[in-house]
């Protein structure tokens, strides 16, 4: 992992776009996004628009990246710290156009996506917590410790604060991965008939 380093600097628009591209590559075969957009070309374009539209308005959140020796972003985590979920209404409204542009060719996907968002909101812990919205590593460098670097960096701060942590994952295989960091499965969400499940995981305060 010596060739990779954590970077906590605030991202400019170019950096946000770079994270969006990495996230698009990482989630390209994700069951949730495949369900929303089955066509490969449309999905690839839509994923980049979705993540760019959300992260460029991540004003109350925290984005941490991992860079390689060439200063290229190869991984990222997007968090909402204590008291920042849900985001302000103004922020949520600003994020809507990006989601619409990502899915406007598939109106049914917009409806299904909104159903998932509502289910996610209802499942969130009521007490103060940190929320992990995004954890990605570029497929070219996955399984090389980038996710661990990002989680260790944040969980050190979270444990010092003494609050729980919460996330959702779309892949059942990720449950075992997150358990290594103290998360446990709290709920399985299947808000759309014949749609994929989302696995809500909770890490108690330390």
Domain limits of the chain?
5-203
Q: Rounded distance, CA 107 to CA 113, Å?
A: 10
Amino acid 98: pLDDT: 65
Record the tokens describing residue 42, joined without a space.
């449309």
Question: What's the rounded Cα separation, in Å, for the pair 75 and 109?
Answer: 27
CA angle (176, 182, 188) in 5-degree steps: 55
pLDDT at 189: 95
Question: What confidence score (pLDDT) does residue 90 get?
Answer: 87
Q: What is the pLDDT of residue 41?
A: 77
Q: What CATH number has the domain spanning 5-203?
A: 3.40.630.30
List, as one string, the DSSP characters of 150-192.
HHHHHHHHHHHHT--EEEEES-THHHHHHHTTT-EEEEEE--S
pTM score, whole prediction: 0.92
In angstroms, the CA 82 to CA 205 distance is 12
Check residue 110 and give its pLDDT. 72
The CA distance from 16 to 3, in Å, is: 22
Q: What is the pLDDT of residues 69-111, one digit of tens each?
A: 999 999 999 999 999 999 988 898 787 666 656 554 565 767 8
Q: What is the pLDDT of residue 37?
A: 82
Query: pLDDT below 50 — which residues of the chain?
Result: 104
Note the pLDDT tens digit of each residue in 16-31.
999 999 999 999 999 9
Cβ proximity of 70 and 29 under 8 Å: no
**Confidence at residue 106, expressed as pLDDT on a 0 to 100 scale:** 61
Given a contact cutoff of 8 angstroms between Cβ atoms, the answer to whether 58 and 98 are in contact is no
């Amino acid at each position: 992992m010596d060739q990779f380093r954590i970077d906590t600097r605030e991202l400019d628009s170019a950096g946000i776009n770079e994270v969006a591209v990495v996230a698009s590559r990482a989630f390209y075969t994700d069951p949730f996004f495949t369900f929303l957009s089955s066509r490969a070309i449309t999905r690839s374009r839509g994923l980049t628009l979705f993540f760019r539209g959300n992260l460029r308005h991540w004003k109350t959140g925290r984005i941490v990246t991992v860079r390689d020796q060439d200063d290229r972003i190869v991984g990222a985590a997007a968090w909402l710290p204590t008291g920042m979920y849900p985001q302000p209404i103004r922020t949520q409204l600003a994020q809507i156009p990006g989601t619409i542009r990502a899915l406007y060719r598939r109106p049914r996907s917009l409806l299904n996506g909104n159903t998932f968002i509502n289910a996610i909101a209802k499942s969130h812990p009521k007490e103060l917590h940190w929320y992990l919205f995004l954890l990605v590593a570029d497929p070219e460098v996955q399984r090389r410790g980038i996710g661990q670097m990002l989680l260790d960096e944040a969980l050190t701060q979270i444990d010092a604060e003494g609050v729980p942590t919460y996330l959702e994952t779309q892949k059942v295989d990720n449950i075992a991965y997150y358990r290594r960091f103290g998360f446990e499965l709290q709920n399985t969400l299947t808000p759309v008939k014949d749609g994929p499940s989302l696995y809500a995981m909770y890490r108690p305060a330390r």
